[in-house]
Amino acid sequence: MTDDPAPTLKLVLAWSPRRNLCNIVADRLAALAAADDIRPLGDDAHVVYTALSADEVRDALRDGLTADEGLLVAEFEAWSGYGQSLDATWLLARGH
């Protein structure tokens, strides 16, 4: 039996009034999780499947941001999606 937490989906939102953070966040997420466990959702958001807590993900990402930029990491148990551009197969494999 293990005490390691099970991975869950986290939504990562990062925004800046002056620059695009998509690549910065993507590069930092790549250091936290396998490439197959990360999906971008537009320019400001990613979904990551990891056993790290929301605050651990936040702490790992915030060093790349300045004081006028924002970061939100949300862990969720329920979700719903729509659209062909959403990788539903990937999400279903990591959901309920």
The full set of domain ranges for the chain reads: 8-77
Cβ atoms of 32 and 58 within 8 Å: the answer is no
Which residues lie closer than 8 Å to 36 by C-beta, 6 or more apart?
none
Write down the architecture of domain 8-77 according to CATH: 2-Layer Sandwich (3.30)
pLDDT digits (tens, 9 = 90+) for 23-80: 999 999 999 999 999 999 888 899 999 999 999 999 999 988 999 999 999 997 777 7
Cβ atoms of 12 and 25 within 8 Å: the answer is yes
Cβ atoms of 6 and 51 within 8 Å: the answer is yes
CA–CA distance from 11 to each of 2, 3, 96 (Å)? 26, 24, 16
